[in-house]
Amino acid sequence: MGITVNNTRPDTAKVILVGEMMDGSFDARVMAETDVPYTKYWDNELEQRIIYLHPDQEQLASIVAALNEGRLSLDDLQNFGSSDGGTSDLPI
């Protein structure tokens, strides 16, 4: 089973900011690429990464659940997406 998620398009430039927290959990927000902070977004994060996907809220919840349940790694997630539009098929 998988989900098809829109990639970032140049005319909208929405991305996912994904954070791995100190307790091993993950959180994510969809935001404009220009709004991504250069500092920590979450107080208790270990790291944050930008993923060039533009999911709807249901898809974002599925991505975060897959990260938290270990069905998807942050490294694998970063292999998906594009800034040129189109879609990505995530194996979750």
Q: What is the pLDDT of residues 49-61, one digit of tens each?
A: 999 999 999 999 9
Does a structural domain hold residue 78? yes
Handedness of CA 75, 77, 82, 83 (dihedral sign): negative
Total-model pTM: 0.94
Rounded Cα distance between 45 and 56, Å, is 23
CB atoms within 10 A of CB 47: 10
Does a structural domain hold residue 52? yes
Q: In this structure, what token pair is assigned to residue 26?
A: 């993950």
Which residues make beta-bridge pairs with 53?
A: 7
Q: In this structure, what token pair is assigned to residue 73?
A: 């790694």
Domain count for the chain, please give it: 1
Does a structural domain hold residue 89? no
Does a structural domain hold residue 92? no
Q: What is the pLDDT of residues 21-59, one digit of tens each?
A: 999 999 999 999 999 999 999 999 999 999 999 999 999
Residue numbers of the domain that contains 30: 3-83
